[in-house]
Structure 1
């Protein structure tokens, strides 16, 4: 909605210095508009990009925005992925998403990070070039195994970690430090000593300083000494003897050998699971692993232990999410698993099992949507978005699976429409319908969903044409058209008429739809949607008493099912009608109730409409400044669509009337100041202001949780505690077995992440003393 910093991925482990590389990248970002960090898999491209942008984010006026592309396979969805992160999820016109993004970014100064571009090189390069031309204040940082080849690109080849100290007095190298930190995380009693220092250095050298290879080796200290690890690696790496060292190809072979060795040290069950979970895109939970990967070779009851084993070996990464624990694979580890899966001949079987699992999920979602679990379903499918895309791409890429792909794309219709993914839904439905041209029940359903998506984008001509196809194909199937289907056809036709301004016709179609659903149709979402259409068209036709009566019927039916999405539209309509009846306080109350639900579900179209209505109702209560702020907030949401008020003449007239009323009361200068203030608010602050009349607050700086250390990595917390104990950086380095320059960097990061200015404040945080207390100053 407004100007605010994007959310960066959480660093789940400590970061080893790389001071020189960080400085060079920060310098490049000040002089070049496109910087691409390149290097072999596992060399640390993502980690250094994350650290660098975290360090510069305060200097970027409109924030740093991180777009993770590793799980994306469809090149056409690259602009959609960027739009989703920026909050420009949809557009109410059929304009290309590239143009929507270009318009959105044209007057902003921000840093866009595209992480893991190598499998989408062409699409990333085209999009970046387009956006850089349109947005003078835009800078882009990309990570990729190869350069994008785009205009203005500056390539920064990422080197491996150093494995020998740069100077005799400088302590341990970065590579050795990484090994020690990961080894200590795996085995608390591990320490770098005079007895093992040379072996650790040789081990890191053997692994050519590749961070991922070092991490995979370090976890083995649970069972092996460093000398034993080195001996076993020597046997594995003898196969590479005689090759030229130091080149990209050799580093790739080194990493491959290290992963081979790690794979061989896994148990048979762990090897099988490593290969099988490679079919997942993004993250996944244990329930999905059980459904997709379990069989006689890998019983479901053994999976928790096998997953735990892969987490212990740093093959799987474990993340805490709002809906529980999820796991994921690093890209390089996933690629290796896919190669192994291909070798077993199980790849096609596992891809179908993955697809079947997400098809079942989609159908459960569709059946359960008309109920109390809508917010939970929205959160669940958002977490599974990458896997849903992967399942759809698999179906639409295999002729034998095309119809199943259409079924899955159609089953997700409420996710596309109610949760803010209209454009992506249209993308998949268009592909699926083109691949399934013959009349069938699945195609009829798909066309019906496609009509609704066209309506959501105000493409009424396309919606009408598709609705004609829908009816025609339903008639060609030899069976009588059901009351439910006829009810949905009437509803969709009525929506088109209502938004086109033909309210009398919309009222008739709404009544017909509700009658059909009451007599043999869909008594859940079908009837609820029909009543919503009927009530809204009555309100827009100025039949306010009838509109309230129908809206109350709709609300009662929603409450009976526990449904919230359409109930919020009933609140919106009640607000429209109450305003028409002169009940201004009631109008404001119902509009606020609607905003609260739209906010939770991510229904951006409904949110934009409801914010407009709240502004109108507020203006009638002689709160002109607040109404102007609300119009500014609503404007930010409408900007992500491109066609204000969905092109409806009635909704446009209401908004313009509100603006005139507020301008008259405030004057042009004061009105514009209030409007701009609303438009500039952080999204969460803006919506809080809209629903509870709290004064607009500036966006707060990130703050730690109750323990005080939420933003810090494990190593940074250790350093902070030692600072609190009064130790110098040199003493801390000796205590932890790391270089002093690394401690210096950790202290800088602690200060930045916690918003502190001095070591004194770190000490105060750890001890609970007042920073002004002289006893806190070390």
Structure 2
């Protein structure tokens, strides 16, 4: 008797090293292992490779049973008998023949494409495993058999690297002139096709007629484009539509309905979102959980871990198939509006909860929801008469744009939402004041002034005192970054007074108090600045607020350095850097690293100070004009550079600066936070007399440094 009926491998592509190793390990430990995944993801290929690699461990070999072509459940046992090459002319049932044959054999049985016959296959496997102790079953399908002792290996789409390798190999085979380059269009194509091997191979097959860019352009109709699989491939793998459609055929009517409605989601979503958006006619919200569970079991929907909690995801290719059905059902408009309403509500909840102990959770939630928030914004902008909803949503997300390092994207949506005219004054005022805030932090004073001017005029005409207070506040910020300290102090003080009268208290209000403290510390009034920030720190501790707290710590560190207390300054900045990095707030982070570089130079380590300055310079490239173009904010950098150059010389300083500029963001943060343990006390740099961090008579001031009465300036 032959020891195997496994087909020869038709291609040389290996890939999926981690998955192959995991599957091999499972086969060594379990008697039933099932590889599950969406259509075209490579389940059969992986199972066959694993069987080939493991067959020598089984003295009676490895045997493949292909079930995808069967439609009659009564033929499953006959198919297994036939695959094993058993000849039995008696009237015994095939199940008895199999049990007798396998009873004393050590054998690997591979069942491929069983999902449409899952109940019959599960019962057969259960009986065979019970009667044949040497039998190991490796199954490959779109859902598990759900038997006791079954080990399930969910097969995700290919990694970016493997997807590019596979596409490139298939592309060269189909069109030798393609070459082997893996440029941006190839990477984008692999991403758009979700790393699904079948889709990548079908796309590569189009290269004799189309360029990669042309294939990308036509992906909106991917099911018409991706056809024509290789000869000899299973019928269900001849086109992408049939591969995904095969899963669709196996679904119940309610599963198909949920699949269609889930197509409106982009990226990860949680159960509550699915219940709200997809519940409705023919599918009550309280049934969504059970139906969703079945789609997960069939690999139509993936469940994944997320910093914001458990989430579900539908691959773009699977969603595209569902979207066609949603349009055919005539339900697309209703479901998309429910999706928009859910994410508008989510954004509102997040804004309210930002000022409190769940701030980190809110940041993670917004990050996870970003793809769906983008969809919601697009729906608002594409629907006539709903620009005000886009303005409200883009303005509500201020905490994410500003607090989580998304200034550029926030600016994009705010600009787009404000382009159409709108009669909804409240929404427009909110978007305008947030646009002014974002533009200020980007260093775009012209856009900031334009937005704040319109906001102020509209607030005055409509009698909106709160919008007027925010306008005054942001105008004060603009004066602060423009080095007009007296005006900044006056406007910020006026805004804080208005907030008190209106009973407004949130992270933005506290930030206004920190900004007022900055005007004071820059003018040398350390006592007042420290008092303001200690008050902010106390409120933040009571509320559990961390984002604004980090900025208060920055000002307190500035004051500590100015007094010559480097230990306190470093401790405050360490906490500041850690918080800002956790929130991905690049503005707060780069300011803290700039000041930390000066503290490091003051501690006697000019080389490390130059490294940190280089890292900060790289960060500014992602934020806007370095130190906002402000002489006050630039003073620590200028002084730090002066001290480091004095100690190192211009050439060595430049070398360390460049080295710091090559650090990744995470590396720069790790280096900054490790600084205290790496440095000793050291002598003051340059050997000159220093009095704390202040300028002393006879010390050369950096060009452009602001001055105070008597010719001194703080820091």
Range into which the TM-score falls when normalised by the shorter chain? 0.5 to 0.7
Does the 8 Å CA contact 2:443/2:624 hold for their aligned counterparts? no
Cα distance between partner residues in 1 of 2:464 and 2:450: 19
Match of 2:534 among 525, 541, 552: 552
Q: Does 1:622 align with 2:614?
A: no
Residue equivalent to 1:399? 384
- CA deviations on 1:580-638 (whole Å, 9 max, x unpaired) are 23333222222222111101111011111110011112212223233222212222212
Q: Does 1:491 align with 2:473?
A: yes
Cα distance between partner residues in 2 of 1:457 and 1:603: 13
Q: Does 1:653 align with 2:645?
A: no
The structure, 1 or 2, with the larger RCO (C-alpha pairs under 8 Å, 6+ apart) is 1
- CA deviations on 1:474-499 (whole Å, 9 max, x unpaired) are 2333xx232x3232112101111111
Cα distance change of structure 1 residues 244 and 555 upon mapping to structure 2, 3 Å threshold: closer
Deviation at 1:433?
0.6
Trace 1:366-377 onto structure 2 (pairs within 5 A). Answer: 366-377=351-362
Q: Does 1:571 align with 2:553?
A: yes
Residue equivalent to 2:27? none
Deviation at 1:694?
6.5
Residue equivalent to 1:448? 433
Match of 1:639 among 621, 645, 657: 621
Cα distance between partner residues in 2 of 1:326 and 1:526: 31
Trace 1:99-498 onto structure 2 (pairs within 5 A). Answer: 195-196=82-83, 217-224=113-120, 254-295=239-280, 297-438=282-423, 440-477=425-462, 480-482=463-465, 484-498=466-480
Residue equivalent to 2:38? none
Does the 8 Å CA contact 1:487/1:526 hold for their aligned counterparts? no
Deviation at 1:180?
9.8
Deviation at 1:425?
0.8
Residue equivalent to 2:12? 20
Does the 8 Å CA contact 2:236/2:243 hold for their aligned counterparts? no
- CA deviations on 1:294-344 (whole Å, 9 max, x unpaired) are 235323333332122111111112222233322222222111111111111
Deviation at 1:355?
0.5
- CA deviations on 1:17-51 (whole Å, 9 max, x unpaired) are 8863579xxxxxxxxxxxxxxxxxxxxxxx89x99
Does the 8 Å CA contact 1:504/1:541 hold for their aligned counterparts? no
Deviation at 1:171?
12
Deviation at 1:269?
2.0
Does the 8 Å CA contact 1:216/1:313 hold for their aligned counterparts? no
Secondary structure in 2 matching 1:318: strand
Deviation at 1:654?
2.0
Residue equivalent to 1:524? 506
Deviation at 1:223?
2.5
Cα distance change of structure 1 residues 192 and 693 upon mapping to structure 2, 3 Å threshold: farther
Residue equivalent to 1:103? none
Residue equivalent to 2:496? 514
TM-score, normalised on structure 2?
Answer: 0.64
Secondary structure in 2 matching 1:327: strand
Say which is worse superposed, 525-534 or 462-471, in terms of deviation. Answer: 525-534
Does the 8 Å CA contact 2:476/2:487 hold for their aligned counterparts? yes
Cα distance change of structure 1 residues 251 and 364 upon mapping to structure 2, 3 Å threshold: same
Cα distance change of structure 1 residues 473 and 642 upon mapping to structure 2, 3 Å threshold: closer
Deviation at 1:653?
2.8
Does the 8 Å CA contact 1:395/1:402 hold for their aligned counterparts? yes
Cα distance change of structure 1 residues 582 and 427 upon mapping to structure 2, 3 Å threshold: same
Does the 8 Å CA contact 1:532/1:570 hold for their aligned counterparts? yes
Cα distance between partner residues in 1 of 2:591 and 2:369: 28
Cα distance between partner residues in 2 of 1:620 and 1:513: 36
Cα distance change of structure 1 residues 246 and 266 upon mapping to structure 2, 3 Å threshold: same
Cα distance between partner residues in 2 of 1:473 and 1:216: 67
Cα distance change of structure 1 residues 178 and 19 upon mapping to structure 2, 3 Å threshold: farther
Cα distance between partner residues in 2 of 1:289 and 1:619: 54
Does the 8 Å CA contact 1:219/1:312 hold for their aligned counterparts? no
Deviation at 1:445?
0.9
Residue equivalent to 2:644? 662
Does the 8 Å CA contact 2:440/2:448 hold for their aligned counterparts? yes
Q: How many residues align?
A: 512
Say which is worse superposed, 256-265 or 443-452, in terms of deviation. Answer: 256-265
Secondary structure in 1 matching 2:312: strand
Cα distance between partner residues in 2 of 1:543 and 1:395: 48
Does the 8 Å CA contact 1:629/1:675 hold for their aligned counterparts? yes
Secondary structure in 2 matching 1:315: coil
Residue equivalent to 2:30? none
Residue equivalent to 2:576? 594
Cα distance between partner residues in 2 of 1:345 and 1:216: 37
Cα distance change of structure 1 residues 216 and 505 upon mapping to structure 2, 3 Å threshold: farther
Deviation at 1:379?
0.9
Does the 8 Å CA contact 2:304/2:311 hold for their aligned counterparts? yes
Does the 8 Å CA contact 1:645/1:651 hold for their aligned counterparts? yes
Cα distance between partner residues in 2 of 1:197 and 1:622: 78
Secondary structure in 1 matching 2:502: coil
Query: Which has more radius of gyration?
Result: 2
Cα distance change of structure 1 residues 366 and 436 upon mapping to structure 2, 3 Å threshold: farther
Does the 8 Å CA contact 1:454/1:462 hold for their aligned counterparts? yes
Cα distance between partner residues in 2 of 1:656 and 1:179: 72
Cα distance between partner residues in 2 of 1:436 and 1:289: 33
Secondary structure in 1 matching 2:337: helix
Say which is worse superposed, 626-635 or 559-568, in terms of deviation. Answer: 626-635
Secondary structure in 2 matching 1:417: helix
Cα distance between partner residues in 1 of 2:10 and 2:64: 11
Structure 1, unmatched stretches of 5+, are 1-15, 24-46, 52-157, 182-188, 199-213, 230-242, 697-778
Secondary structure in 1 matching 2:405: coil
Cα distance between partner residues in 2 of 1:466 and 1:435: 15
Cα distance between partner residues in 2 of 1:623 and 1:192: 76
Does the 8 Å CA contact 2:114/2:121 hold for their aligned counterparts? no
Deviation at 1:550?
1.3
Cα distance between partner residues in 2 of 1:223 and 1:416: 51
Cα distance change of structure 1 residues 677 and 192 upon mapping to structure 2, 3 Å threshold: farther
Deviation at 1:431?
0.9
Residue equivalent to 2:197? none
Cα distance between partner residues in 2 of 1:657 and 1:245: 66
Cα distance change of structure 1 residues 366 and 171 upon mapping to structure 2, 3 Å threshold: closer
Structure 2, unmatched stretches of 5+, are 1-7, 20-40, 56-62, 69-75, 86-109, 125-138, 140-226, 679-715
Does the 8 Å CA contact 2:440/2:478 hold for their aligned counterparts? yes
Residue equivalent to 1:11? none
Cα distance change of structure 1 residues 405 and 315 upon mapping to structure 2, 3 Å threshold: same
Deviation at 1:510?
1.5
Cα distance change of structure 1 residues 244 and 299 upon mapping to structure 2, 3 Å threshold: closer
Cα distance between partner residues in 1 of 2:67 and 2:515: 65
Cα distance between partner residues in 2 of 1:472 and 1:664: 51
Does the 8 Å CA contact 2:533/2:553 hold for their aligned counterparts? yes
Secondary structure in 2 matching 1:462: helix
Cα distance change of structure 1 residues 191 and 286 upon mapping to structure 2, 3 Å threshold: farther
